[in-house]
Structure 1
Amino acid sequence: MSRGSFPRIPRSPGGSRTPLLLAVAAVVPAGFLGWLLWDASGGPADDGKRPAAAAASSAPPSAHRVSPSPQPRASAPGQPSPSAPEAEGTPSADGPLKGKVVVVDPGHNIHNSEHTAEIDRSVDIGTGRKECDTTGTSTDAGYAEATFSLDVSHRLRRILQAQGATVRLTHDGDRPFGPCVDERAEIGNKAHADAAVSVHADGAAVGDRGFHVILPAAVKGGRADTGPIAGPSKELGARIAGNFVRTTGSAPSNYIGGGTGLDTRSDLGGLNLSTIPKVFIECGNMRDPQDAALLTDPTWREKAAQGIANGIADFLRR
């Protein structure tokens, strides 16, 4: 996720977090799943520290994840996901997520660069003002973050709908630009969604690798008050991170989050203005060649969508 131009200068991790052993994670991703998959009775810690995790799950991986839906025909980089034609709001008649509403927010918009004046105007994000939206980043070969995020969002929608969830996208590539960050939050709020996820890829330095999930900080000001959603959002983010590790094999970020795969921020209007549990996921670094090879691979993007879906399902079925 770019903040207007790329490459983005990596931000130092904030707050106190317990590092994850990345060396172990790189060899046996499932070995550290217990750190991220919370015990159903644990919940968010009142002191803001990492909640107790299941030390080691005795259940097979399938016990924690949604059954994968049939794999779609792979699409080439830069092409729409094969699942894109499926309509929003048409969940299967039955399934474990029946009655649940999920908002999926594809980061940026491929047309933002054609509307710089519109996306540069500032909007209120509670802690101040920030640009309406940004162009996002891209790989060195020109594969845009906005294309990536929409593709993964289409895949995520299909997987969740197959489980019975009602899914709404904040946009489907059908707008001239945006939506602005405050409108993205408002779409989830008005839908009274049970969870929302904003899909992104980062634009950091070469050698910065891995994914991280961004959680809302405690923010109160103007229209922003994340007090009621900070705890549930933290749980949602932890469950997504744990499932993302296991499904994709990717390690948590080596440059943000202190090895935890989690980062807390107060400068994102899409989180500050949300009244429902919401997180962002940066699926990898588009400016690093190794991460870029994954992000442009349709097979890996399907795994990424599955991992996010599994985490959402874990959260909604807790």
Structure 2
Amino acid sequence: MSYVGPDFDPPQPRRPRRAPLTVALAALVPGALLGWLVYEAVGATGGGGSGDSAKPGGALTSATDTSRTPSASSSPADDGKKPGTARTGSAPAGTGPLAGKVVVIDPGHNSGNYRHTAEINRKVDIGNSRKECDTTGTSTNDGYSEARFTLDVSHRLRTLLEQEGATVKLTRDGDEPPWGPCVDERARIGNTSRADAAISIHADGSAVGNRGFHVILPGSVHAGAADTRPIVGPSRDLGERIAGGFVRVTGSAPSNYIGGGTGLDTRTDLGGLNLSTVPKVFIECGNMRDGKDAALLKSGAWRQKAAQGISEGIVSFLRG
């Protein structure tokens, strides 16, 4: 994800393409060693590819059955978007183990942001400072945008969580809204939904050679409209479980450039976390600017693994 502002090129035109180890990162003793041991056990290829990184930084609409259950082998172009469709609410809650639970998924950025620079550059209050409403996000070197990646993973994650019985809401879906929403609105959607857990999906835009994922946790902020003190503990628990599931299912290693090898990073400068009143974390799934990480992020099969790993962490958190 890009947290420094809309400084990336607009998305490039799409080009046709051819088509029982449990990670107890909750303990983190030490997290870096544990994550790396699992990484070595499952193989450094991460299920066939790799990718590049992102930086810190919708309205509820809908999709067809195909967009809600994207193929695990879909290409970057098959990102779960169906033009002209609208999702007005989450699917009916099931009778699975998460029945009665609400999860809000926040797909980072928006493919239309670069067309609305005035709107996304507008500063909003995040409690301890003011920051841009949103940013454009990053992309792979061949133009696969972070916004498309985050929406695809979010669709896959929604399907998995609904199968567990959860009620799932997205902060944006498809091309609605045409830009944003702003970071304060993304937090508000989770708050007004009284989410039991919320997650913002991103990918990083860091230097070549910087690889791996990291989960961003809210730090303690008590300023202005922000008071994260009640959610710091639960959010850490949520983040540790998601990190553990992500390592186990994807085989990706924790970030080699953020988090000291633990796959966890605490921040107090992100409005989506500062303004949240429900347990919430961000996940940077990989580095879009590194060729090896980018190959993973562009793989539909790997994105399905990413969604599965995140889902397992959320399910574990919500079941206690």
Alignment TM-score, normalising by the size of structure 1:
0.81
Deviation at residue 19 of structure 1 after TM alignment: 5.7
Q: Which runs of 5+ in 2 are unaligned?
A: 9-28, 44-68
Give me the whole-angstrom Cα distance separating, in 1, the residues matched to 2:316 and 2:178: 35
Report the CA distance between 1:27 and its aligned residue: 1.4
| Residue of structure 2 aligned with 1:27, choices 40, 53, 65 | 40
**Structure 1 residue 73, shift from structure 2 partner:** 5.5
Corresponding letter in the other structure for 2:315: A
Q: Distance in 1 between matches of 2:218 and 2:76?
A: 31
Asked if residue 108 in structure 1 is aligned to residue 120 in structure 2, the reply is no
The superposition leaves residues 37-89 of structure 1 with CA deviations (integer Å, 9 ceiling, x where unpaired) of: xxxxxxxxxxxxxxxxxxxxxxxxxxxxxxxxx98353221333289979542
Corresponding position of 2:230: 228
Structure 2 CA distance for partners of 1:236 and 1:23, relative to 1, 3 Å? closer
> Aligned partners of 1:268, 1:93: CA distance in 2, in Å?
33
Q: How do residues 224-263 of structure 1 correspond to structure 2 at under 5 angstroms?
A: 224-263=226-265
The one-letter code sitting in structure 2 at the alignment partner of 1:272 is N
Q: One-letter code of the match for 2:135?
A: T
Task: Output the CA distance in 2 between the equivalents of 1:314 and 1:251.
Answer: 20
Q: CA deviation at 1:28?
A: 1.4
Q: CA deviation at 1:29?
A: 4.8
Is 1:118–1:132's contact at 8 Å kept on the other side of the alignment? yes
Task: Give the secondary-structure state (helix, strand or coil) at the position aligned to 1:149.
Answer: helix
* 1:137 matched residue in structure 2: 138
Partner of 2:77: 78
Q: CA deviation at 1:176?
A: 1.2
Any residues of structure 2 matched to 1:154-193 within 5 Å, and which? 154-172=155-173, 173-193=175-195
CA pair 205-315 structure 1, distance change in 2 beyond 3 A: same
Letter in 2 for 1:226: T
Partner SS for 1:20? helix
How many residues of Structure 1 are paired with residues of Structure 2 in the alignment?
A: 271
Q: Distance in 1 between matches of 2:146 and 2:6?
A: 12
Q: Is the CA contact 1:102–1:196 (under 8 Å) kept in the aligned structure 2?
A: yes
CA positional deviation for 1:90: 1.1
- What is the RMSD computed on CA atoms of the aligned residues? 2.2
**Residue identity in the other structure for 1:167:** V
Shift of 1:223: 0.4
- Partners of 1:109 and 1:26 in 2: how far apart? 32
Contact map agreement 1:107 1:146 (CA 8 A) in 2: yes
CA gap 1:152/1:291 in 2 versus in 1, 3 angstroms: same
* Relative contact order higher in (CA < 8 Å, ≥ 6 apart): 2
> Deviations for 1:146-195, whole angstroms, at most 9, x for unmatched residues?
00000000000011011110000001131110000000000000000000
Q: How much has 1:18 moved relative to structure 2?
A: 5.2
**Could you list the runs of 5+ residues in structure 1 that have no partner in the other structure?**
8-16, 31-69
Distance 1:230 1:26 in 2: 27
Tell me, yes or no, if the aligned pair for 2:94 and 2:164 is still in contact at 8 Å: no
Tell me the secondary structure at the aligned position of residue 180 of structure 2: coil
Match of 1:126, as an amino acid? G
Answer yes or no: is the 8 Å Cα contact 1:182–1:270 preserved in 2. yes
Amino acid across the alignment from 1:193: A
Question: 1:281: which partner in 2?
Answer: 283
Is the 1:189–1:274 contact (alpha carbons within 8 Å) kept by the matching residues of 2? yes
- Equivalent position SS for 1:293: helix
What residue number does 2:199 align with?
197
**In 1, distance between residues paired with 2:306 and 2:86?**
19
Change (3 A) 1:262 1:29: farther
Residue type of the alignment partner of 2:225: R
Offset at residue 5 of structure 1 (A): 4.4
Give the 3-state SS of the residue equivalent to 1:198 in structure 2: strand
Cα drift, residue 25 of structure 1 = 3.9
Structure 2-normalised TM-score?
0.80
Identity %: 63
State the SS of the aligned residue for 1:263: strand
